[in-house]
């Protein structure tokens, strides 16, 4: 074995010495960052929660993407269009059916848990489930009555598809409540697992069994039947997750019901949530009503892809909601601003590259669904810009709801809903489905800009990364 010394040793030191020093300089900040992520500070909680949430959303979206490709290719636009059109209406009815309790639960459960008010926590869990189940049944029956009177004005085959789809309505609303309760306990990954991972897997199994039993094409009725069965199974799984995660003190507490307070909060929230969903669905619904369900199917695929841009916002909000509620309840404005700044940073890290990727690769992504869907690329670009503004405005809607300003948020939402419908009526006849996309992008931009300004003036906190400053004396 040759011993290094003299000039050789000096050369080795000159080469390895700076390298080892550089490695230590790089490794030390990484080590400190990893140590911080294991802590209980807002940055660590947001990073861990948003990271696990985003990983589940991305995985679930990948599965949902494959399912949608499978459905469009085995059904074709003529069958897929009516299926997704009816499903869009079911989603709108589900927002009314859950009556804002999915948002209220996130706010109240987090607050009651922080103050150890177990009786009230148990009361809102029990009351919300009973209320929402009863309301969903009533909405379903009322919809059947409307269909019996005006069903002949629909496209052929849509009325029985509505009848079948309505069976899933109570399950969807109760599932949203189960997810909200888990989010309020900061069990973010567990709250998203049923919808993001388990549901697409069950749908895939159902489609596979159906296709093995009957060769393609898959019919709209078969696809809707799979949707209904999946909704029932996923609800049972989500409820099992809640029972295994709820605080032990909850089972020993006597339920305390403050129905009036809860309903006063949820009434504007249901309108807010309904407006939000309509803002996301009214374009598809109006395209279907004015241009036909086949065009609605093409538009829906582009809209689904554009929604990928907001995944960072969804992931961050899922963990930020209880943190915002807790800091506002304890009047910790400095802590609230820190949470919102961290949230805006995390959202931007996903949103900007996602937008660039979708605009660059959008035509190829649409081609995966079938050659007919590639014509929707201009629609995808317009919707992408709307989603970009929506995400970069930060957690504006969440802040308004978690701080008790849902009535103001509702007024803003209603104004923009009127704007959206008006723009759709003006632009769809002239530009077709692209007009709906432009209308939605404009409305999203105006809506989020208004909310960001209101939050800044009302609460003195900034949900964006823009350097806002208060006026002197403000």
The answer to whether position 466 is within a domain reads: no
Q: Exposed (0-12), middle (13-18) or buried (19+): which is 201, by Cβ within 10 Å? A: middle
| Contact call for residues 443 and 423 (beta carbons, < 8 A) | yes
Position 344 scores a pLDDT of 87
Position 381 scores a pLDDT of 94
| Contact call for residues 73 and 108 (beta carbons, < 8 A) | no
Query: Could you give the CA distance from residue 367 to residue 375 in angstroms, rounded to a whole number?
Result: 9
The answer to whether position 11 is within a domain reads: no
pLDDT band at 175 (very low <50, low <70, confident <90, very high): very high
Position 289 scores a pLDDT of 80
- Write out pLDDT tens, residues 370-428: 788 888 999 999 999 999 998 888 888 888 877 878 778 878 888 888 899 999 999 99
Query: Does residue 32 carry a pLDDT above 60?
Result: no
Kindly state the average pLDDT of the residues 128-154: 88
Whole-structure pTM value: 0.61
Query: Does residue 62 carry a pLDDT above 80?
Result: no
Query: Could you give the CA distance from residue 235 to residue 383 in angstroms, rounded to a whole number?
Result: 31
Give the DSSP per-residue string, 289-346: HHH-HHHHHHHHHHHHHHGGGGHHHHHHHHHHHHHHHHHHHTT-HHHHHHHHHHHHHH
Number of domains observed in the structure of the chain: 1
The answer to whether position 155 is within a domain reads: yes
The answer to whether position 179 is within a domain reads: yes
Q: Exposed (0-12), middle (13-18) or buried (19+): which is 197, by Cβ within 10 Å? A: middle
Give the DSSP per-residue string, 386-424: HHHHHHHT-SHHHHHHHTT-HHHHHHHHHHHHHHHHHHH
Position 57 scores a pLDDT of 64
Query: Does residue 269 carry a pLDDT above 50?
Result: yes
The CA-based dihedral angle spanning residues 309, 353, 351, 285, taken in that order and rounded to the nearest 10 degrees: -20
Position 53 scores a pLDDT of 57
Give the DSSP per-residue string, 178-238: HHHHHHHTT-HHHHHHIIIIIHHHHHHHHHHHHHHHSPSPPPHHHHHHHHHHHHHHHHHHH
Structure token pair of residue 321: 């909601």
Query: Does residue 127 carry a pLDDT above 70?
Result: yes
Kindly state the average pLDDT of the residues 353-361: 92
| Contact call for residues 322 and 442 (beta carbons, < 8 A) | no
Comparing 330 with 160, the larger pLDDT belongs to: 160
Query: Does residue 77 carry a pLDDT above 90?
Result: no
The answer to whether position 358 is within a domain reads: yes
Largest CA distance in the chain: 99
Which of the residue ranges 94-103, 318-327, 340-349, 445-454 would you say has the lowest mean pLDDT? 318-327
Cα first-last separation, the chain: 77
The answer to whether position 20 is within a domain reads: no
Percentage, residues of the chain above pLDDT 90? 22
Kindly state the average pLDDT of the residues 282-301: 83
The owner of tokens 């969807």 is 172
- Write out pLDDT tens, residues 153-164: 777 778 889 999
**Among candidates 427, 68, 103, which has minimal Cα distance to 276?**
103
Kindly state the average pLDDT of the residues 352-377: 88
Query: Could you give the CA distance from residue 430 to residue 329 in angstroms, rounded to a whole number?
Result: 49
Q: How far is CA 166 from CA 139, 169, 225, in A?
A: 9, 5, 11
Query: Could you give the CA distance from residue 12 to residue 88 in angstroms, rounded to a whole number?
Result: 68
Give the DSSP per-residue string, 419-443: HHHHHHHHHHHHHTHHHHHHHHHHH
Q: Kindly give, in sequence order, each residue whose CB lies less than 8 Å from that of residue 374, ignoring residues fewer than 6 positions away.
A: 363, 366, 367
| Contact call for residues 444 and 397 (beta carbons, < 8 A) | no
Query: Could you give the CA distance from residue 175 to residue 102 in angstroms, rounded to a whole number?
Result: 9
pLDDT band at 21 (very low <50, low <70, confident <90, very high): very low
Position 140 scores a pLDDT of 92
Comparing 447 with 88, the larger pLDDT belongs to: 447
The answer to whether position 30 is within a domain reads: no
**Among candidates 432, 323, 321, 304, which has minimal Cα distance to 369?**
304
pLDDT band at 321 (very low <50, low <70, confident <90, very high): confident
Phi/psi-derived region of residue 100, left when phi > 0, alpha when psi is between -120 and 50, beta in every other case: left
pLDDT band at 134 (very low <50, low <70, confident <90, very high): very high
The answer to whether position 472 is within a domain reads: no
Kindly state the average pLDDT of the residues 114-135: 89
Residue range of the domain that includes 306 = 42-459
Comparing 57 with 134, the larger pLDDT belongs to: 134
| Contact call for residues 132 and 174 (beta carbons, < 8 A) | yes
**Among candidates 89, 289, 65, 282, which has minimal Cα distance to 172?**
89
For the chain, the average pLDDT equals 80
Query: Does residue 302 carry a pLDDT above 60?
Result: yes
- Buried b or exposed e, range 1-37, using 16+ CB within 10 angstroms: eeeeeeeeeeeeeeeeeeeeeeeeeeeeeeeeeeeee
Position 205 scores a pLDDT of 87
Position 7 scores a pLDDT of 46
Position 159 scores a pLDDT of 86
Structure token pair of residue 221: 């009725």
**Among candidates 216, 185, 270, 274, which has minimal Cα distance to 75?**
216
Percentage, residues of the chain above pLDDT 70? 82
Query: Does residue 349 carry a pLDDT above 80?
Result: yes
């Amino acid at each position: 074995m040759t011993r290094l010394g003299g000039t050789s040793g000096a050369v080795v030191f000159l080469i390895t010495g700076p390298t080892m020093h550089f490695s230590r300089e790089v490794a030390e900040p990484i080590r400190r960052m990893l140590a911080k992520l294991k802590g209980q500070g807002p940055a660590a909680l947001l990073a861990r929660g948003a990271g696990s949430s985003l990983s589940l959303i991305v995985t679930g979206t990948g599965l949902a993407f494959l399912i949608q490709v499978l459905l469009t290719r085995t059904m074709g636009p003529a069958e897929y269009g009516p299926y997704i059109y009816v499903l869009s209406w079911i989603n709108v009815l589900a927002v009314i059916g859950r009556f804002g309790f999915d948002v209220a639960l996130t706010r109240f459960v987090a607050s009651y848990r922080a103050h150890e008010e177990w009786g009230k926590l148990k009361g809102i869990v029990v009351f919300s489930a009973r209320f929402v189940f009863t309301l969903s049944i009533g909405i379903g029956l009322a919809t059947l009555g409307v269909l019996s009177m005006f069903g002949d004005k629909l496209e052929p085959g849509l009325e029985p598809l509505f009848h079948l789809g309505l069976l899933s309505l109570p399950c969807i609303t109760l599932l949203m409540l189960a997810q909200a309760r888990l989010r309020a306990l900061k069990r973010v990954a567990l709250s998203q697992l049923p919808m993001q991972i388990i549901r697409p897997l069950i749908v895939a199994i159902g489609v596979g069994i159906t296709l093995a039993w009957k060769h393609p094409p898959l019919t709209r009725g078969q696809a809707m039947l799979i949707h209904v069965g999946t909704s029932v199974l996923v609800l049972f799984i989500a409820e099992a997750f809640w029972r295994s995660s709820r605080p032990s003190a909850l089972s020993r507490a006597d339920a305390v019901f403050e129905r009036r307070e809860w309903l006063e909060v949820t009434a504007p929230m249901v309108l807010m949530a309904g407006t939000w969903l309509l803002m996301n669905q009214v374009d598809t619904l109006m395209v279907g009503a004015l241009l036909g369900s086949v065009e609605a199917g093409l538009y829906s695929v582009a809209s689904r892809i554009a929604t990928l841009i907001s995944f960072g916002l969804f992931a961050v909000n899922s963990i930020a909601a209880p943190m915002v509620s807790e800091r506002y309840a304890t009047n910790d404005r400095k802590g609230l601003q820190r949470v919102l700044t961290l949230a805006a940073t995390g959202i931007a890290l996903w949103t900007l590259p996602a937008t660039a990727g979708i605009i660059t690769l959008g035509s190829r992504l649409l081609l995966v669904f079938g050659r007919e869907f590639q014509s929707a690329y201009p629609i995808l670009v317009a919707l992408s810009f709307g989603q970009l503004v929506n995400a970069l405005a930060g957690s504006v809607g969440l802040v308004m709801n978690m701080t008790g300003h849902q009535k103001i948020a509702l007024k803003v939402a209603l104004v923009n809903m009127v704007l959206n419908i008006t723009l759709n009526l003006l632009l769809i006849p002239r530009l077709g489905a692209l007009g709906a996309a432009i209308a939605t992008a404009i409305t999203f931009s105006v809506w989020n800009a208004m909310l960001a300004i209101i939050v800044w003036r009302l609460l003195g906190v900034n949900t964006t990364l823009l350097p806002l400053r208060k006026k002197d004396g403000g």
